[in-house]
C-alpha cells in the first residue's frame, strides 16, 4: 500500500489537517518531552489501523492522508508515524509525487549530530543538562524512552515514588550511585536498573 500525504482533499482520506488543529496550536510539533504528541499519535494509529497495514483486509493499494502545510518538524514526525504502516510513503504537491520518504523505525541514542527536525524538537540542551525524548517517535504506547546526560554531582530526578508507573534505567556510559529506599548502590556502564513502586534517585 502507498500512503500519500497531500494538502488536497480526496475521498476517504484520513483528515490529518482537521485533527492537527484539534491537537496542536501550530503547524509544527510542540517542543519538550513529547507528552503532547501522544494523544495525536494514538488517534492516527487507530485511524491507520482501520485502513492500512500489510495484514489488514481493509487495506487498498493507496491511501491519502490529507495534511495541513506542516513545518519541517511536523512533517518529519508525520513521516515517522506513517512509515510504520507502509514501506511506501510519498508527499504529493501540485500533482507531483515525491520520491519514497519512508523512515526507518530506528533512533541512535549515541549520535546526536544527525537528528531530523522531530528529534531536534524533542531535545533539551542547556549548560549541565542534556535530554533527548524518544517517544512517540518510535510509535505509541505506554512506554517512554529518553536519553539523559547527568553531570558530575547532579541527579536525574529527586527522590520520589510512583503509584503504578515502573521505570527502567540503562547506564550507557559512566558510573553513578543508585539510591533505592535507604540503600546506596554503585552502578556502572551496562547496568539495567528496575524501579518498581518506591523511592529512587539516580545521581551521577
Q: Where are the domains of the chain?
A: 2-97, 117-201
| Long-range contacts at 51-58 (CB < 8 A, ≥ 24 apart) | 51/12, 51/14, 52/1, 52/3, 52/85, 52/86, 53/1, 53/85, 54/1
Helix (H, G, I), strand (E, B) or coil at 46: helix
Do 130 and 124 contact (CB within 8 A), yes or no? yes
pLDDT in tens, 112-145: 888 888 888 888 887 777 888 888 888 887 667 7
Q: How far is CA 77 from the centre of its chain?
A: 8
Instruction: Take residue 137 and report the three cell numbers written for it.
Output: 517517535
Pairwise pLDDT comparison (90 vs 142), residue with the higher score: 90
The CATH topology of domain 117-201 is Jelly Rolls (2.60.120)
Winning range, highest mean pLDDT, from 51-60, 81-90, 102-111, 137-146: 81-90
pLDDT computed for residue 86 by the predictor: 93
Answer yes or no: is pLDDT of 202 > 60: no
Winning range, highest mean pLDDT, from 93-107, 111-125, 147-161, 172-186: 93-107
Q: How far is CA 164 from the centre of its chain?
A: 22
| Half-sphere exposure in the Cβ direction for 68 (13 Å, CA) | 18
- Give percent of the chain with pLDDT exceeding 90: 40
pLDDT mean over 76-105: 95
Read off the pLDDT band of 94 (50, 70, 90): very high
Listed range (2-6, 77-81, 95-99, 159-163) with the worst mean pLDDT = 159-163
pLDDT computed for residue 204 by the predictor: 41
Amino acid at each position: 500500500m502507498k500512503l500519500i500525504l497531500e494538502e488536497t482533499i480526496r475521498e476517504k482520506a484520513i483528515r490529518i489537517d482537521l485533527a492537527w488543529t484539534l491537537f496542536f496550536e501550530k503547524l509544527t510539533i510542540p517542543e519538550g518531552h513529547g507528552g503532547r504528541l501522544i494523544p495525536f499519535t494514538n488517534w492516527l494509529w487507530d485511524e491507520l489501523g482501520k485502513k492500512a497495514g500489510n495484514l489488514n483486509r481493509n487495506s487498498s493499494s493507496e491511501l491519502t492522508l490529507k495534511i495541513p502545510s506542516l513545518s519541517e518538524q511536523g512533517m518529519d514526525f508525520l513521516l515517522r508515524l506513517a512509515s510504520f504502516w507502509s514501506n511506501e510513503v510519498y508527499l504529493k504537491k501540485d500533482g507531483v509525487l515525491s520520491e519514497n520518504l519512508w523512515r526507518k523505525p530506528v533512533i541512535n541514542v549515541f549520535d546526536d549530530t544527525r537528528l531530523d527536525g522531530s528529534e531536534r524538537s524533542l531535545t533539551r540542551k542547556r549548560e549541565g543538562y542534556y535530554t533527548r525524548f524518544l517517544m512517540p517517535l518510535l510509535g505509541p504506547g505506554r512506554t517512554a524512552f529518553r536519553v539523559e546526560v547527568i553531570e558530575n554531582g547532579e541527579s536525574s530526578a529527586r527522590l520520589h515514588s510512583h503509584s503504578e508507573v515502573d521505570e527502567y534505567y540503562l547506564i550507557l556510559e559512566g558510573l553513578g550511585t543508585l539510591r533505592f529506599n535507604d540503600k546506596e548502590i554503585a552502578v556502572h556502564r551496562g547496568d539495567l536498573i528496575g524501579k518498581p513502586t518506591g523511592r529512587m534517585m539516580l545521581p551521577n
